[in-house]
A and B are shown apart, each in its own frame.
Chain A
Amino acid sequence: MFKVLISRLGQAALVMLVVSAVSFVMFRYVGDPVATMSRENASVEEKAELRRSLGLDQPLVVQYGRFLGRTLSGDLGISYRNQRPVTQLIAERLPATLELVLVATVLSLALGIPLGVLCALRPNGVAARLVQALSLIGISTPTFVTGIVLILVFAVSLGWLPSFGRGQVVDLGWWSTGFLTASGLKSLLLPGITLALYQLTLIMRLVRAEMIDVLSSDYIRFAKARGLPTRYIHFRLALRNALMPVITVTGLQIGSLIAFAIVTETVFQWPGMGLLFIQAVSFVDIPVMAAYLLFVGLLFVLINAVVDILYAVVDPRLRARSA
């Protein structure tokens, strides 16, 4: 067990090193921060001076070494655009993204599971076919289209919900939450639905497939033969077993929701990490872009490591193999 843990951590560290190198090198090519930060009237001397003050005149290896050293000491640098420490910016934006992801996850589970069950129990019913057809649309519509359509319908035409922003937020220490005000809750709905849509479809289809699988297995047939109540068979016996892979997928999906909330956050001007990243890209704010990539890399590495370790805990065969 200890061996598994050590080897997983070693792999994680290696992956992070690669991510940091890639992010560092990649962002050298997205543009020149000096050009975006200079005045239009700036003279050549002024630009050279700015380049020097940013350390951009040093060789690439020296720049990377400095970057790595600072990162390891927990200093992710100062945002060129907001002129504040990047760690502080990320900490500030994290609550907005996490709350959005939470709403999206809850929505997709609360709707995806019952719909999946419905489709599995009555695969040929009208409702099931309708849901299946709609889910195709849900999975193939680009996020920004969904977002804009929702805004047009619910904000512009009906005027029920706000079209952008977080609404009123309440500060609980360093965490700012939109859950405690009416306008905050209203603001969560449209972006939450937009972000949930893809995951909802995924969960629904997964539940459906697993349920159909489980329902045709022997122990369900025996349970039916014993004359147990249908509700008990469907929901206590079948659904429980069908949910195992759903939990894994949901866990992994939360990672990608955080990472790929970029489009939703841009459409709804949601002041979270995705918006921070996209603003950083248009301003060539390298420290923020690099930090974001590192953060997302770390998130995936951690989630994967936890999943791997949990598997090892659950399944002794995996432990034996890797040892």
Chain B
Amino acid sequence: MNTRLAASLTIAGVLIGMPAEAKTLRWASPTDITTLDPYAHTESFTTSMLHHVFDPLVRRGRTLELEPALAVSWKTVKPDTWRFELRRNVKFHNGNPFTADDVVASISRILDPGARARGNLATVVRAEKVDDFTVDIVTQGPYPLLLNDLAGIYILDKEWMEANGALKPGNIATGVTTAASTTAVGTGPFKVESYKPDAGTTFVVNPDWWDKPQHNLTRIEFKPVKSDATRVAALLSGELDLIAPAPLQDLQRISASPGFKVIEEPSLRLIMLSLNVRPELKAMPGQKNPLLDVKVRQAMWHAIDLETIKKRVMRDKSRTTGTLVAPPVPGYAKENDVPLAYDQAKAKQLLAEAGYPNGFKTKLNCPNDRYINDEQTCVAIASMWAKVGIQAELQTESRATYFPRQDRGEFDVSMVGWATLPPMDGFSVLSSLLTEQKDGYGGSNAGTYSNPKIEELTRKAAVELDETKRRAMLAEALKVARDTVAYIPLHQQPLAWAVRDGVDVPQFPDEYVRLWFATVK
């Protein structure tokens, strides 16, 4: 009797527990996944989506700290060789076991000259199998940011790539496609069920994921919806559970609607002004460039009322800043993060001392569709400068034409946004924005800023494996940048998503959507 009762209770329990309610999360973003091949692109939205399907060796946890994923531990055996102990009993979505061979094949695949994302692992020379669950990764000289880089490198299944002719990488730039462009076999928390560009991608949960799920989803339906108004309408009409990002102008309306809420946090992306320090200004051909004088640059900073921009233009959602990296990023130092005070008299005095008592002419170039309220911010700045005599002729244009012109150095003063991604480290600001253009450095230093101290610190920090020393170097370099007004930092732009009640999604300042932390009711 008792056993029968127990048995039927067990069955009942199983029956109640079994049909675990299908928890579907439907969400939309303005952009779509570019490809399913993680090595064929360099776009951070696609990388963030593919993280649901693939695992890297190390990953970012809830507070964005690096934590073990497919590797359980690591150490540097030589300054240029890192040894990784791999996780056992991990299976790919097709049932194949995960071993060192998969890591070696994946690393070799991304090191192929044809891989679009090759630059994301630029310093790695090769990966070597030590045994089935140990792998050595060899870099060109000591390289402190290897783990940061590896956090964005997903591991593919070697057997599957061999069987499908996908050992060579795809490339969205040259149009090389492989079976991996439309099929994703990873070890991640979700599997791709269907992938239709511009119409939507569906993921289903991977019940055999090696990690203990912190989410309760069985299914994710992703739809790209480009139009802001439609995206908001679809959320409010109940067709979506989450929109990321939510347009700034609609935040009030969404939070005022019962059943919906807005979640916000400052993003890592820092908006700043890049200053041309070539001998001449485009706006003043034939004359000496006033921006060469640090007093002029300080005057320009003093003349910008950052609080007003924050309140009026950014609707109190941004965070004003005095340094070039956001607080969570290594290299950030609180003492650097103090903007020059808004002081028109001081600005005029500095201009007079520099020999421009009546100000000067310059140009201000800004995108109008790249950063949040970018055009309005520039309009405000131009009018603030006018009050101290700096006549900045404002020109705004679409990102498609703006960035190529910026790259070619056509601007005097222009807006730049920098999020330090993918490494999420202050070194990216040094190596891309603050150093001269050579040896692969200075890729986005459009104003040709240069400072010998920063050059030296950048090259030292590049090979410093002691993390405390390295961070001190970054902070020192960023202090020099602030003291010499290399760039004028404006604000950290806000990140806003909107969800219906019952959806719980943690937000991250790198703007990645990590739904393996999401729960829905």
Residues in chain A within 8 A of chain B (CB atoms): 29-32, 34-47, 50, 53-54, 77-84, 89, 144, 147-148, 151-152, 155-156, 159, 162-166, 266-269, 271, 275-276, 278-279, 281-282, 284
Q: Are B419 and A156 in contact (CB under 8 A)?
A: no
Residue among A38, A41, A155, A166 having the largest count of chain B Cβ atoms under 10 Å: A41
Interface residues of B in 217-232 (CB under 8 A from A): 223-227, 229-231
| Contact in complex: A269, B226 (CB < 8 Å) | yes
**Complex Cα spacing A164 to B233, Å:** 9
- Of all chain B residues, which has the CB nearest A160? B237
Is A163 a contact of B230 with CB atoms below 8 Å?
yes
What is the size category of the interface that chain B forms with chain A? 35 or more
Tell me, yes or no, whether B508 is within 8 Å of chain A by CB.
no
Residue of A nearest to B400 (CB): A31
Given contacts A84-B177, A148-B233, is CB(A266)–CB(B226) below 8 Å? Answer: yes
Does A269 contact B441, Cβ atoms closer than 8 Å?
no
A47 engages B407 (CB within 8 Å): yes
Check if B450 is an interface residue, CB within 8 A of chain A.
Answer: no
A161-B507 Cα distance, complex, nearest whole Å:
31
Do residues A81 and B224 form an inter-chain contact, with CB atoms below 8 A?
no
Inter-chain contact A267/B230, CB cutoff 8 Å: yes
Across the interface, which residues of A come within 8 angstroms of B176, CB to CB? Answer: 83
**Residue B198 is within 8 A (CB to CB) of chain A in the complex:** yes
Q: Does B236 contact A (CB under 8 A)?
A: yes
Asked whether any CB of chain A lies closer than 8 Å to the CB of B81, the reply is: no
A164: which B residues are within 8 A, CB to CB?
A: 223, 225, 230-231, 233-234, 239
**Given A42-B443, A43-B443, A278-B226, residue A155 in contact with residue B237 (CB < 8 A):** yes
Within 8 Å CB of A89, what residues of B? Answer: 197
B150 on interface, CB distance cutoff 8 Å: no
Residues of chain B touching chain A, judged by Cβ–Cβ distance below 8 Å, are 32, 34-35, 40, 42, 119-120, 170-177, 181, 196-200, 223-227, 229-231, 233-234, 236-239, 398-401, 403-404, 407, 418-419, 421-423, 428, 431-432, 437, 440-444
Q: Which residues of the partner chain A approach B423 to less than 8 Å between Cβ atoms?
A: 41
Q: Please determine whether B172 and A80 come into contact, CB atoms closer than 8 angstroms.
A: yes
A35-B407 CB under 8 A given contacts A82-B197, A156-B233: yes
Task: Give the chain A neighbours of B418 by CB distance below 8 A.
Answer: 40
Contact A81 B34 (CB under 8 A): yes
B238 touches A159 (CB 8 A): yes
Collect the chain B residues with CB atoms within 8 Å of residue A41's CB: 119, 422-423, 428, 431-432, 443-444
Q: Check if B177 sits within 8 Å of A39, measured CB to CB.
A: no
- The smallest C-beta distance from B199 to any residue of chain A, in angstroms, reads 4
Starting from the known contacts A46-B440, A278-B226, 5 additional A-B residue pairs (CB-CB under 8 Å) come to A37-B173, A42-B443, A54-B174, A165-B199, A271-B198
* Given A32-B404, A39-B42, A83 contacting B229 (CB threshold 8 A): no
* Interface-central residue, A82, A83, A163, by most chain B CB under 10 Å: A83
The 24 sampled A-B contact pairs (Cβ below 8 Å) are: A31-B400, A32-B403, A32-B404, A32-B407, A36-B400, A37-B172, A39-B119, A39-B120, A40-B444, A41-B428, A41-B444, A81-B172, A83-B35, A83-B171, A84-B177, A148-B229, A151-B233, A155-B237, A162-B234, A163-B239, A164-B239, A269-B225, A275-B198, A279-B198
Would you call B197 and A269 a contact (CB within 8 A)? no
- Complex CA distance for A112 and B79, rounded to whole angstroms: 78
4 shortest A-B CB distances, which residue pairs?
A31-B400, A78-B175, A32-B404, A43-B440
Does A163 contact B404, Cβ atoms closer than 8 Å? no
**Residue of A whose beta carbon sits closest to that of B441:** A43
Report chain B residues within 8 Å CB of A281.
400
Question: Are A46 and B119 in contact (CB-based, < 8 A)?
Answer: yes
Which of B119, B224, B234, B407 contacts A163 (CB under 8 A)? Answer: B234
Complex Cα spacing A38 to B441, Å: 15
Q: Once the chains bind, are A269 and B223 in contact (CB under 8 Å)?
A: yes
Contact of B175 among A31, A83, A282 (CB under 8 A): A83
**Given the interface contacts A40-B432, A156-B237, does A83 sit within 8 Å of B181 by beta carbon?**
yes
Chain B residues with CB below 8 A from A156, complex form: 233, 236-237
Complex: how many Å from CA A50 to CA B170?
Answer: 14
CA distance A39 to B419 in the complex (A): 12
CB distance from A272 to the nearest CB of B (A): 9
**A53 contacts B237, C-beta separation under 8 Å:** no
Give Cα A294–Cα B418 distance, bound, in whole angstroms.
38
In angstroms, Cα B422 to Cα A30, docked, is 28
A148 to B: closest C-beta gap in Å: 5
Residues from chain B with Cβ under 8 Å of A278 in the complex: 226
- Cβ contacts under 8 Å, B226 to chain A: 266, 269, 275, 278-279
The residues of B that contact A159 with a CB separation of less than 8 Å are: 237-238
Q: Give CA–CA (A165, B226) in the complex, Å.
A: 11
Q: How far is the CA of A165 from the CA of B197 in the complex (A)?
A: 12
Task: Kindly identify which residue among A30, A42, A54, A267 contacts B229, using a CB–CB cutoff of 8 Å.
Answer: A267
Kindly provide the distance from the CB of B506 to the nearest chain A CB, expressed in whole angstroms: 24
Query: Contacts A155-B237, A269-B224 hold; do A31 and B172 have CB atoms under 8 A apart?
Result: no
Query: In the complex where A162-B239, A165-B199, A275-B198 touch, is A31 in contact with B233 (Cβ < 8 A)?
Result: no
Q: Which residues of A contact B404 (CB under 8 A)?
A: 31-32, 34-35
Q: How far is the CB of A38 from chain B (nearest CB, A)?
A: 7
CB distance from B174 to the nearest CB of A (A): 5
A42 touching B173, Cβ below 8 Å: no
| Residue with the highest number of chain A CB atoms closer than 10 Å, among B237, B401, B418 | B237
Report yes or no: B34 in contact with A82, Cβ–Cβ below 8 A: yes
Chain B residue with Cβ nearest A53: B174
Determine whether the beta carbon of B40 is less than 8 Å from that of A83: yes
